Structure 1
Amino acid sequence: MKLKIKGFTKPPTLPTDFYTSTESTLLKASESLLLQLPITETRESLYKGVEDLCIHKHSPKLFTSLKTLLQTHCTLTLLPKIKTFLLSSNFTIISLQTPSPTPKLFLTLLGKVWNDWLGSLGDLKSIYLYLDRR
Structure 2
Amino acid sequence: MVETKLEVVVLPVADVDRAKDFYTALGWREDADVTTGDDFRVVQMTPPGSACSVIFGTGVTSDAPGSAHGLHLIVDDIEAARAELADHGAEMSEVFHDTGGVFHHAGSRERASGLAPDRTSYGSFASFSDPDGNGWYLQEITTRLPGR
Q: Same fold (TM over 0.5)?
A: no
TM norm structure 2: 0.21
Q: Which structure dedicates a bigger proportion of its chain to strand?
A: 2
Asked which structure has the greater RCO (Cα within 8 Å, sep 6+), the reply is 1
TM norm structure 1: 0.23
